[in-house]
A and B are shown apart, each in its own frame.
Chain A
Amino acid sequence: MDGLLLPVVDDDGAPFWEYAARGELRVQACAAPECGRLRFPPRPCCPHCRSFESEWRPMSGRGRIWSYVLPHPPLLPAYAAQAPYNAVVVELADAPRIRLVGNVVSGPDAPLDSVDPARLRIGAPVRAVFCPAGPGVTLVRWLLER
């Protein structure tokens, strides 16, 4: 994973990464009792009810590929070394309007190009795995479900 960009974590996103480091996929939700709606990316205030109270709700880690691209060079050197690779948007099974960008890989710490692109399809079921990627940062990545 040398040379790949690590997430630049901000205050709103920090809990996501803390849970990921424990192997948990959690999404921010409004904590107002009358609202409770999920939101992503995380932000200070609920866009539906304006509450500043939030909690982090566990997700099953299952989802489907919403779309994907196969980047080819020119790219940053560490990415070019693995190109063409896939980058995907995954919609979560628990909450289809919550979508995460990631990579489909053959194992938690496998290279970005470890899955044959011919196996990728929009709608294909995937599940989250966790890959320690640097000091305090664990990436959420995706395996194709059988």
Chain B
Amino acid sequence: MTAWEVAVTALKDATAIAGIGQTAFAKQLPESEKTLACRAIVAALDDAGIDASEVDGFASYTMEETDEVEVAKAIGAGDVTFFSKVGYGGGGSCATVAHLAAAVATGQASVGVAWRSRKRGSGTRPWKNTAVQLPTPAQWTRPYGLLRPADEIGMLARRYMHEYGATRDHLFNVALACRNRANQNPDAVMYERPLTRDMYMTSRWISEPLCLFDNCLETDGALACVIVSAERARDCRQKPVYLHSVAQGLPAQHHGMVNYWNDDPLTGPAWTAARQLWKQADFGPDDVDVAQIYDAFTPLIPLSLEGYGFCGRGEGAAFTEGGALESGGRLPINTGGGGLSEGYVHGFNLINEGVKQLRGVSTAQVPDAGTCLVTAGEGVPTSALLLRS
């Protein structure tokens, strides 16, 4: 074996998610982000049957405002030997788990906790801040009124629709699949709120071509999961969900959100993460039973379907036709409702939902699901996980 093959073998299926935890999801929750973070983490450790004093690794997002010092103190963690933060908003979701997998597989930690706690529902909208702006948008895009993520992604969405004949009905297919799954999930913000094509087509614009239902929710909530070695996971309370392959992706000449300047802006970070993900895996896209695809905006789904190899370039919109994304379809997605309809917690609920599927306990269970792709934000430096049971 080459050194690379040895290294990949060392990571493949070497670690597992042994516990998951979450708080309620709502437009507004009364407790602080720190309290919510602690509740989700304590719940995840309890789910795994591991005492908090054994936690020696932490990973979260750079946008996370509860730091590992505060969290470790509050939950009573032991001596911590690995901690890491990943940038680029929702692009970092799966990378938090990936970093802990690498840390556990190489002996830097033995019990890792990844978490995200966010009061995006009751807090302010980040784009309203004009005092702290990212330098490239502040100089080259925001002055022209490209203010919000919906404007930035809407620009790519219109180009995609123009190049490949994608329509609003394709974007509706995405919104509907997520909403239908949320309607089966009592924990979802949109549990009792069905969506119809008429509601979608007559809703207000946010940034044309994107309407209200093309945008994710604004949610308060927190989630966490526990990563341990595969060997240890087999002794834990729950059925292990193995981390088969993990990857991050920052393509050459990419610029997060405002990716207008490379040769091919519609080939986003998903493509880079996917190449790395599949290169390390024993199976391919055709073998994926269920997928949790980052859905801050509906057009991210067709772009991701192409990037992760479920269809060819330009075929992502057509892929959504005929109920392909629904239960029983070719590729059921976002089976808890996703960011569009369960709750938007920077994609961490997609990770936990992937675990639920492979445990067989999802509220929209795919029969005998044995493999699940989870992706982080597309359109920003991203990350992805291949889970297997």
Q: Which residues of A contact B (CB under 8 A)?
A: 4-10, 13, 40-41, 47, 66-72, 74-76, 79, 82, 84-85, 87, 89, 97-103, 112, 117, 122, 133, 139
Q: Which of B139, B151, B154, B261 contacts A13 (CB 8 A)?
A: B139
Q: In whole angstroms, how far apart are the Cα atoms of A41 and B155 in the complex? A: 18
Q: Which residues of B contact A (CB under 8 A)?
A: 125, 128, 130, 133, 135-136, 138-148, 150-151, 154-156, 158-159, 162, 204-210, 253, 258, 260-261, 263
Instruction: Say yes or no: A41-B156 contact (C-beta < 8 A), given A13-B139, A71-B145, A72-B207.
Output: no
Is there contact, CB below 8 Å, between A75 and B139? no
Question: Least Cβ distance of B326 to chain A in Å?
Answer: 29
Is there contact, CB below 8 Å, between A69 and B208? yes
Is there contact, CB below 8 Å, between A68 and B155? yes
5 nearest A-B pairs in the assembled complex, by CB-CB distance:
A70-B208, A8-B138, A67-B159, A69-B154, A72-B205
Instruction: Say yes or no: A71-B139 contact (C-beta < 8 A), given A76-B128, A99-B261.
Output: no
Chain B residue nearest to A117 in the complex (CB): B208
Is there contact, CB below 8 Å, between B155 and A84? no
Question: Least Cβ distance of A116 to chain B in Å?
Answer: 14
Is there contact, CB below 8 Å, between A71 and B207? yes
Chain B residue nearest to A83 in the complex (CB): B145
Chain B interface mostly: mixed
Q: In whole angstroms, how far apart are the Cα atoms of A81 and B156 in the complex? A: 25
Question: Least Cβ distance of B284 to chain A in Å?
Answer: 32
Q: In whole angstroms, how far apart are the Cα atoms of A71 and B162 in the complex? A: 18
In the complex, what residues of A have CB within 8 A of residue B143's CB? 4-7, 133, 139
Instruction: Say yes or no: A89-B147 contact (C-beta < 8 A), given A47-B253, A69-B209, A76-B130.
Output: no
Is there contact, CB below 8 Å, between B208 and A67? no
Is there contact, CB below 8 Å, between B130 and A5? yes
Is there contact, CB below 8 Å, between B146 and A101? yes
Q: Which of A72, A103, A122 contacts B162 (CB 8 A)?
A: A122
In the complex, what residues of A have CB within 8 A of residue B206's CB? 71-72
Q: In whole angstroms, how far apart are the Cα atoms of A67 and B162 in the complex? A: 9
Is there contact, CB below 8 Å, between B130 and A70? no
Is there contact, CB below 8 Å, between B135 and A85? no
